[in-house]
Amino acid sequence: MIRVLLADDHAVVRDGLRALLEAQADIEIVGEAANGREAVRQVHDLNPDVLVMDIAMPELNGIEATQQLHDALPSTQVLILSMHSTTEHIFRALQAGARGYLLKDSAGSEVVDAIRVVHTGRRYLSHKIAAGVIDDYSCAFTAASGHPVHPDPVFHQRQRRYSTGWRKREDAGAGMKLTMTSAGSIVSGFRLPEIIHPRRRLGTRVFDFSRQVAVMAIVNRTPDSFYDKGRTFGLDEAIASANTAIADGADWVDIGGVPFAPGPEVTVTEEMDRVVPVIEALSGHDEIVISVDTFRPEVARRCIGAGAHVINDTSGLRDVAMARVVADSAASLVITHSLSPPRRAYPRPRYVDVVSEVVEFLRNKAEVAGGCGLPVERIIIDPGLDLNKNTCHSLELIRRLDEIAAIGLPLLVAVSNKDFIGETLDREQGHRLEGSLAAAVACIVQGARIVRMHDVAAAVAVVRLTEAILGFRKPAFVRHNAE
């Protein structure tokens, strides 16, 4: 059941919407508001799934109300109603956090379709806007088309999307002709994925992965890490490294106590002794997501109790009990593709089509996790670059990463200082920064929304600029040739 709050200052509009929505078996009206402030208050009190709101509300307009609600209540999606179809109005609404923009004279069936689409976290743009020519605007944005959508579990795979802000066409007159693609959306030539429930709460942080990329820092309390060779094995060194990463702008810190690569056995007690004190030391940083790289359910349970928000399982859910442990908590789970058990050699891996096989693996494992009670909005996937893959496999995965992103779950990539970079560029460890950053950008523009990186300050700068190029964020300021 989709719980909807109606907000419009005209009673006749609310009456019409109420009559329309009460006839829908899957929609329940939980409240109504006649001004923006009342709408915000009721959203906080009722926590509806969808707020349908007029853009020109008294006391607090629809855009201002949306902005206030965007960070506070990520589970409520906002559908703006408006008499205006200019790109500036639409852009401002979407930038504020609205998931959809609908003209007030839209057909009743389209209103219902729009509510069902934005409820899943996808963008929706009115038929009459998406099918015509709209005013030029200097920033790109992405929005879903108004094609009728059947409310079945996989409709998002068939949903078509439109985008503006690319190039003017000769037949578009003074404006810009909207163009259509059948898989994901395109902004300035980049294909962006459809993401199931893109707004995720991880710890106290809220991420909108439809327009945001998170930088994950790496802290390994291992003596045999492939990158730092034990530099952060000591507790004080590990905590200091994490604090430096936070100061450098990391959104997320991933703590590991056992490398994936072959090596000597590390007991459960040893692993807990390595990672739990770091979690406890970082628990005071409310702005940071804390994850633990582990394949053991018992370690995961202890780490979640200590304050971890995410379990990063590089074994690919080899032990199904891991999904049950995470499902019993508020934590999220990263499912990574791999073939061998951790710490075991897997020489000369063979694939018929590495991308198709990774996609099938991740889809199946996500279904397994769901069957264990883990909601889809708490599942993240990782193709496992270099894990039981050679350099050619990893390059092919990046080349066709959009096929993995099309699964629809937030996509994490661990590219930093990997061997595929060293072998491609003939660079030893310590000399792979440029390759790591290039790989991160290539992944982001094909749908990756979390990048796991060692050099945090450089990664943050590259990620934020890539977000701006994709139209996810505004520049910090605009001065050059602005006057």
Residues 6+ apart with CB under 8 A from 405: 184, 193, 411, 446, 447, 448
Residue type, 31: G
The Cβ of residue 29 has, within 10 Å, a number of other Cβ atoms equal to 18
Asked if 144 contacts 123 with a C-beta cutoff of 8 angstroms, the reply is yes
End-to-end Cα, the chain, rounded Å: 52
SS3 455: coil
Catalytic residue among 191, 365, 418, 449: 418
Point out which residues pair with 101 in neighbouring strands.
Answer: 80, 125
Point out which residues pair with 3 in neighbouring strands.
Answer: 28
Nearest by Cα to 381 from 368, 365, 395? 365
Report the alpha-carbon distance of residue 327 to residue 374 in Å, rounded: 4
Point out which residues pair with 202 in neighbouring strands.
Answer: 205
Alpha helices, DSSP H, located in 23-59: 36-46
The secondary structure of residue 145, as a DSSP letter, is -
Region of residue 317 (phi > 0: left; psi between -120 and 50: alpha; otherwise: beta):
left
Report the alpha-carbon distance of residue 296 to residue 36 in Å, rounded: 48
How do beta strands 133-134 and 124-125 pair?
unpaired
Q: How far is CA 84 from CA 56, 131, 141, 342, 367, in A?
A: 10, 15, 17, 56, 42
Residues 6+ apart with CB under 8 A from 431: none
The maximal CA–CA distance of the chain, rounded, in angstroms, is 72
Asked if 213 contacts 444 with a C-beta cutoff of 8 angstroms, the reply is yes
* Side-chain half-sphere exposure of 237, counting CA atoms within 13 A: 12
Q: In what order do the strands lie in the sheet with 124-125?
A: 27-33, 2-7, 50-54, 77-82, 100-103, 124-125
Residue 452 annotated as catalytic: yes
SS3 404: helix
Q: What is the DSSP string of 310-362?
A: EEEETT-SSSTHHHHHHHTSS-EEEEE--SSPTT----S---SSHHHHHHHHH
Name the residues annotated as catalytic.
418, 452
